């Protein structure tokens, strides 16, 4: 054995100690650098690692009727989601077979999701049934990037459809979600009706959940230690002016018919019922897109998606006569007692027919028995005295020919012509008196929607106030705050009560003695109204009936428009009278009228009922 040099040993030990101390300090220094100097970088990295932000859908606001009856709520449904970045495309056949859909559907949905965002989660399929949902749940480990969630769809607990009021939801399109960071692919938004107009209120605000995830991406529940979840803000509830019972009743009356009913509170403009027939079934558009049904209602020739109550443009016919009379009186062309003789026709360049009994008519009786001559003559004089544009302005004060502010999309303003409109329509100075005389009886270049006719009627019966129709009384925010709607109610300055009383008396006579006496005269309820015909070159004429009750103190205006129904007095008038009866009496006592309406077949007037509309 050799002995080591003690000096060398000491030096070597020292050298080794220095190296070891040095390296230990390097390690400690490195730890110091990572944990103290760069702490914030790594803290954030760690947090980002383990926390996943997830959006929580807000419950969409509920919709109630005027009596607090729930019209629309939400129902849970099962959805399958996809995150393209983690999804493996070779799993498409497996996924499609589990979902029981075609490969091509899954492929196209995956493509859409990829286009939307590679990293955000999209809905692949909504409203799958529970067994499919469970099947996916069981196989989720074979399908990275696929998830499932409980979602909701609109639910309509009442029997009524109200499709044209409520509207439907459809998946947000690319433009929708690019413009709104609250929307994700597969989210549904209101595309028509109240759902569209009140989309922002109903939608609410997305909440955010912070989930703890592990390195395998498995969610471990909420991560409340570091970040409080932000609860979604529930959508605002909407309290409508609709009377659900009246709406349902009105829908029943319209079954099998084409047309519209508008029932309105004449003093405020609050819509009590609004039916456009044919309807479509909003509940069939609520869940997963029912492509077949969607195509069906889109290609249907009766256009169930078209809201006839607010969007159709029809000549108001004789329903226009009361406003015509008011304008005539204001322009000083006639007084309530002015009499005009009807010989059976009005001759001015050509003969204009008048089916009312020959004889003298004043304003009241001209309305009551719908003498055309009186109003041809009136319009003639208005035009000849250079008052066409004044007339147009006066009529527009009753809501015709101008847009209204109803909270539904695509309301049509209709047409009340003035000279510049006629210049545009026919060419400058290429129109004449012959184009104007018909306007006196609501025919020719004049049109209005059923809603506008109801609005017009309201202004006549409410003492000459301009009102705006509306459907939403109040919006109840999630925090309990209720925002009330203030109805528009402006006195039309030039209208005085004499004008109104005169035409109202005439309208009451319509029901008591005129064309409305068969079906519109309800015992115990003083109904007043006016029939009208919109000429239809393709078949039976379209019938109008606009009415109000009680005569003394009107609570409701009901306007009915029936396409291809023939004479209004036997088609539209009974419908309107039933709506009034239902509203005021809550039940129908005139069952023969009810059955008559339900089994209504369009026909021409009986030879013995001399009706002039």
Partner 1 sequence: MFHEKQILILKSMNNFRDLHWPLAFTWLALAIIGLVAIYSATQGPVSEFLPSYIQNNFLKQLLWVAISIVLVIGVQFTSPRNYMQLSYLFYGMGLILMVLTLFIGTEINGAKSWIRIGPGRIQSSEIMKIATILATANYLTSRRDITAENIRYALIATFMILVPTTLVILQNDFGTAIVFLSLIPVMLFWSGLPYGVSLFIISPAIILYLSVFDWVYGVIASVVLSAVIFIIQKRAWLTVTSLVSGIITVVGVNLALTSILKPHQIARIKAFTNPEFDPTGAGWNVIQAKTAIGSGGLFGKGFLQGTQTQLRFLPEQWTDFVSCVIGEEFGFVGLSVLVFLFLFLFVQLLRMARNHNHPFAQLVTVSVASVLFIHFFINLGSATGILPVIGIPLPFVSYGGSAFLANSLMLAICLNMDFYKRDFSIYR
Stretch binding partner 1 (CB under 8 A), from 31-39, 139-147, 231-239, 407-415: 31-39
Q: Is position 384 an interface residue for partner 1 (rule: CB under 8 A)?
A: no
**Per-residue interface string for the shown chain with partner 1, residues 43-82, x marking contact by CB under 8 A:** x-xxx-xx--------------------------------
**In terms of CB distance, is 212 or 288 closer to partner 1?**
212
Minimum distance of partner 1 from residue 144's CB (angstroms) = 14
Single out the residue of 197, 198, 225 nearest to residue 211, CA to CA. 225
Return the residue matching tokens 């075609």.
102
**In terms of CB distance, is 21 or 347 closer to partner 1?**
21
Minimum distance of partner 1 from residue 6's CB (angstroms) = 9
Q: What are phi and psi of 109, to 5 degrees?
A: -70, -40
Q: What are phi and psi of 416, to 5 degrees?
A: -125, 110
Minimum distance of partner 1 from residue 217's CB (angstroms) = 10
Q: Is position 88 an interface residue for partner 1 (rule: CB under 8 A)?
A: no
**Residue-wise DSSP of 449-480:** -HHHHHHHHHHHHTTSEEE--BSEEEEE-TTS
Coil, strand or helix: which one is 343? coil
Q: Is position 215 an interface residue for partner 1 (rule: CB under 8 A)?
A: yes
Task: Pick from 7, 39, 250, 485 the residue near partner 1 by CB under 8 A.
Answer: 39
Stretch binding partner 1 (CB under 8 A), from 95-103, 177-185, 214-222, 484-492: 214-222
Q: Is position 173 an interface residue for partner 1 (rule: CB under 8 A)?
A: no
Return the residue matching tokens 């409080």.
228
Alpha helices, DSSP H only, in 369-496? Answer: 372-384, 388-396, 419-426, 450-461
Minimum distance of partner 1 from residue 43's CB (angstroms) = 5
**In terms of CB distance, is 12 or 137 closer to partner 1?**
12
Stretch binding partner 1 (CB under 8 A), from 42-50, 126-134, 450-458, 550-558: 42-50
Q: How far apart are CA 154 and CA 192, in angstroms?
A: 14
Q: Is position 224 an interface residue for partner 1 (rule: CB under 8 A)?
A: no
Task: Pick from 135, 213, 402, 588 the residue near partner 1 by CB under 8 A.
Answer: 213
Alpha helices, DSSP H only, in 102-144? Answer: 103-116, 130-138
Q: Is position 227 an interface residue for partner 1 (rule: CB under 8 A)?
A: no
Q: How far apart are CA 149 and CA 140, in angstroms?
A: 12
Q: Three-state secondary structure along 53-98?
A: EEEECCCCCCEECCCCCEEEEEEEEEEEEECCCCCCHHHHHHHHHH
Give the CA distances from residue 365 to residues 330, 368, 512, in Å, rounded to whole numbers and listed in that order.
18, 5, 12
Cβ 402 vs Cβ 459: under 8 Å? no
**Residue-wise DSSP of 218-253:** -EEEE-TTT---BPPBPPPEEEES--HHHHHHHHHH
**In terms of CB distance, is 27 or 105 closer to partner 1?**
27
Minimum distance of partner 1 from residue 30's CB (angstroms) = 4
**In terms of CB distance, is 215 or 601 closer to partner 1?**
215
Give the CA distances from residue 323 to residues 451, 460, 521, in Å, rounded to whole numbers and listed in that order.
16, 8, 22
Q: Is position 38 an interface residue for partner 1 (rule: CB under 8 A)?
A: yes
Task: Pick from 119, 216, 479, 552 the residue near partner 1 by CB under 8 A.
Answer: 216
Minimum distance of partner 1 from residue 22's CB (angstroms) = 11
Q: Is position 589 an interface residue for partner 1 (rule: CB under 8 A)?
A: no
Stretch binding partner 1 (CB under 8 A), from 8-16, 76-84, 321-329, 510-518: 8-16
Minimum distance of partner 1 from residue 119's CB (angstroms) = 14
**In terms of CB distance, is 52 or 517 closer to partner 1?**
52
Cross-strand bridge partners of residue 549:
556
Q: How far apart are CA 321 and CA 329, in angstroms?
A: 12
Stretch binding partner 1 (CB under 8 A), from 137-145, 208-216, 328-336, 397-405: 208-216
**In terms of CB distance, is 4 or 601 closer to partner 1?**
4
Q: Is position 10 an interface residue for partner 1 (rule: CB under 8 A)?
A: yes
Strands 63-64 and 237-240: parallel
Minimum distance of partner 1 from residue 101's CB (angstroms) = 32
CA 336 to chain CA centroid, nearest Å: 41
Q: Is position 598 an interface residue for partner 1 (rule: CB under 8 A)?
A: no
Q: How far apart are CA 250 and CA 160, in angstroms?
A: 9
**Residue list 230-289, contact with partner 1 (CB under 8 A):** none
Q: Is position 140 an interface residue for partner 1 (rule: CB under 8 A)?
A: no
**Residue-wise DSSP of 494-533:** T--HHHHHHHHHHHHHHHHTSGGGTTT--TTS--EEEEEE
Single out the residue of 270, 274, 275, 321 nearest to residue 460, CA to CA. 321
Minimum distance of partner 1 from residue 41's CB (angstroms) = 7
Cβ 470 vs Cβ 270: under 8 Å? yes
Q: How far apart are CA 473 and CA 607, in angstroms?
A: 47
Q: Is position 36 an interface residue for partner 1 (rule: CB under 8 A)?
A: yes
Q: Is position 21 an interface residue for partner 1 (rule: CB under 8 A)?
A: yes
Q: Is position 212 an interface residue for partner 1 (rule: CB under 8 A)?
A: yes
Single out the residue of 554, 560, 553 nearest to residue 516, CA to CA. 560
Q: Is position 27 an interface residue for partner 1 (rule: CB under 8 A)?
A: yes
Cβ 382 vs Cβ 333: under 8 Å? yes
Cβ 116 vs Cβ 180: under 8 Å? no
Site size toward partner 1, by CB under 8 A: 42
**In terms of CB distance, is 141 or 592 closer to partner 1?**
141
Cβ 600 vs Cβ 571: under 8 Å? yes
The CB density around residue 288, as the number of other CB atoms within 10 Å, is: 14
Task: Pick from 100, 134, 173, 218 the residue near partner 1 by CB under 8 A.
Answer: 218
Minimum distance of partner 1 from residue 221's CB (angstroms) = 11
Stretch binding partner 1 (CB under 8 A), from 215-223, 371-379, 400-408, 428-436: 215-223
Residues that bind partner 1 (CB under 8 A): 1-4, 8-10, 12-13, 15-17, 20-21, 23-24, 26-28, 30-32, 34-36, 38-39, 41-43, 45-47, 49-50, 212-216, 218, 220
């Amino acid at each position: 054995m050799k002995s080591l040099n003690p000096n060398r040993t000491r030096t070597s030990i020292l050298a080794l100690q220095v190296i070891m101390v040095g390296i230990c300090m390097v390690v400690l220094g490195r730890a110091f650098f990572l944990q103290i100097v760069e702490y914030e970088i790594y803290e954030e990295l760690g947090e980002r690692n383990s926390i996943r932000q997830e959006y929580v859908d807000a419950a969409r606001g509920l919709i109630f009727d005027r009596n607090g009856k729930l019209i629309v709520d939400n129902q849970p449904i099962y959805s399958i989601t996809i995150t393209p970045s983690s999804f493996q495309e070779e799993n498409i056949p497996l996924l499609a077979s589990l979902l029981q859909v075609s490969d091509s559907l899954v492929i196209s949905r995956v493509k859409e999701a990829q286009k939307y965002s590679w990293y955000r989660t999209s809905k692949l399929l909504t409203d799958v049934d529970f067994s499919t949902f469970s099947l996916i749940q069981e196989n989720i480990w074979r399908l990275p990037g696929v998830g499932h969630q409980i979602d909701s769809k609109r639910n309509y607990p009442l029997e009524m459809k109200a499709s044209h009021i409520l509207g439907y939801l459809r998946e947000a399109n690319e433009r929708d979600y690019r413009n709104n960071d609250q929307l994700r692919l597969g989210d549904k938004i209101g595309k028509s009706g109240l759902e569209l107009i009140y989309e922002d209120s109903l939608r609410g605000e997305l909440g955010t959940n912070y989930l703890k995830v592990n390195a395998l991406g498995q969610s471990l529940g909420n991560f409340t230690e570091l970040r409080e979840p932000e609860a979604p803000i529930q959508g605002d509830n909407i309290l409508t002016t609709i009377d659900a019972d009246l709406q349902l009743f009105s829908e029943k009356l319209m079954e099998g018919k084409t047309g519209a009913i508008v029932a309105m509170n004449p003093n405020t403009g609050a819509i009590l019922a609004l039916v456009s027939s044919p309807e479509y079934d909003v509940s069939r558009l609520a869940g997963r897109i029912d492509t077949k049904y969607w195509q069906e209602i889109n290609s249907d020739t009766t256009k169930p998606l078209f809201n006839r109550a607010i969007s159709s443009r029809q000549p108001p016919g004789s329903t226009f006569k009361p406003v015509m009379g008011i304008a005539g009186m204001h322009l000083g062309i006639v007084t309530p007692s002015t009499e005009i003789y009807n010989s059976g026709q009005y001759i001015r360049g050509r003969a204009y027919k008048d089916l009312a009994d020959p004889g003298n008519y004043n304003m009241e009786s001209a309305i009551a028995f719908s003498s055309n001559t009186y109003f041809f003559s009136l319009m003639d004089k208005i035009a000849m005295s250079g008052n066409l544009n004044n007339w147009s302005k006066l009529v527009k004060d009753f809501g015709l020919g101008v847009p209204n502010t109803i909270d539904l999309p695509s309301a049509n303003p209709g047409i009340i012509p003035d000279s510049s409109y006629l210049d545009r329509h026919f060419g400058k100075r290429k129109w004449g008196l012959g184009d104007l005389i018909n306007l006196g009886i609501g025919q020719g270049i004049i049109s209005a929607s059923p809603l506008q006719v109801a609005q017009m009627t309201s202004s006549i019966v409410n003492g000459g106030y301009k009102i705006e129709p509306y459907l939403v009384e109040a919006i109840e925010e999630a925090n309990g705050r209720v925002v009330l709607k203030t109805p528009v109610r402006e006195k039309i300055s030039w209208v005085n009560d004499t004008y109104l009383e005169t035409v109202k008396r005439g309208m009451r006579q319509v029901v008591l003695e005129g064309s409305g006496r068969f079906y519109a005269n309800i015992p115990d309820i003083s109904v007043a109204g006016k029939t009208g015909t919109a000429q239809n070159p393709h078949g039976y004429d379209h019938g109008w009936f606009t009415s109000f009750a009680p005569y003394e103190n009107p609570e409701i205006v009901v306007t009915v428009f029936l396409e291809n129904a023939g004479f209004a007095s036997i088609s539209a008038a009974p419908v309107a009278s039933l709506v009034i009866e239902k509203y005021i009496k809550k039940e129908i006592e005139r069952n023969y009228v009810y059955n008559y309406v339900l089994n209504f077949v369009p026909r021409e007037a009986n030879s013995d009922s001399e009706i002039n509309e």
